[in-house]
Homo-oligomer: A and B are copies of this chain.
Amino acid sequence: MIEAGDRVLLIGNSRAYYVTAGEGMLSTDLGMIPLSDLIGREGGDQVVTHLGTGFSVRIPRPTDFFVHAKRSGAPMHPKDIGSVIAYTGMNKKDHVLDAGTGSGVAAIFFGSIAASVTTYEQRPEFAKLAEKNLQDAALDNVTVVAADMLTATGTYDVINLDMQITPEHIQHAATLLKPGGYLACYTPFLEHLFLVLDTAKNLFSEVVTHELIEREMTRTDRGTRPSTRVCHTGYITIARR
């Protein structure tokens, strides 16, 4: 049941409006909806504009935050987030350490799966934006720490690094991981990948790097073919403790 302050999507007019229940009014060319109307609703309910057009209420999922969260830079691509989740076997018993947070999009995906996520972000303004995004996602099991992950303590099942990675970060990650836990390192550039591999090979077992090339398929009246959209993001290294 939607409460005041919850982030909600209103689907209609061929688009999705990202609104806050209880705060103000949504104005569209199909009419207005007072957002207090959303309180008490469920996902899938219809609300109606003053001109009589129905909009559908959607409780946002992590995929919606990927689209609608405010960004401080390019977040990890879903294919790579999914790759980290699957290759580490991330699950609801896990305590996850994430760094750098960026806008918090990966932390939203991880937080919606894991028992807890602690996410480190050195740039205070990025950390602040991520906190706002995580609050929007109503995740109370995610903690943003405005610091370098070298200051992290505790033990973790999975550590995800998407930042300028130094050997010290990998060494520190090794001390924080439970036996059998996984480190995932995202490196867009080959030089950083080399550094990660050269450091990790002495500290971890089962070190594997892969790259995912994603191709969209388009199917129209003219025919079906792979599209020519962007196809590279970075290298993912998975290392097990």
Q: Give the B-binding residues of A (Cβ under 8 A).
A: 9, 11, 43-44, 56, 58-59, 61-64, 66, 78-79, 81-93, 109, 112-113, 157, 178-180, 182, 188-194, 197-198, 208-217, 219, 222-228, 230-232, 234-235
Contact = CB atoms under 8 A, between A and B. Distances in A.
A191 B217 CA distance: 13
25 contacts: A43-B180, A44-B179, A61-B89, A78-B87, A79-B82, A79-B86, A79-B210, A82-B86, A86-B109, A91-B112, A92-B112, A92-B113, A190-B225, A191-B223, A192-B223, A197-B219, A209-B216, A211-B214, A213-B214, A213-B215, A215-B231, A225-B234, A226-B232, A228-B230, A231-B231
A59 B208 contact: no
Contacts of A213: 212-215, 231
A44 B156 CA distance: 13
The 10 closest A-B pairs by CB, nearest first: A189-B223, A82-B86, A82-B82, A91-B112, A62-B89, A44-B179, A61-B89, A63-B89, A213-B213, A78-B86
Contacts of A197: 219, 224
Nearest to A158: B61
A212 B93 CA distance: 28
Contacts of A235: 217
Nearest to A114: B92
Contact of A211 (B59, B86, B215): B215
Contact of A217 (B64, B66, B92, B210): B210
Contact of A86 (B81, B157, B189): B81
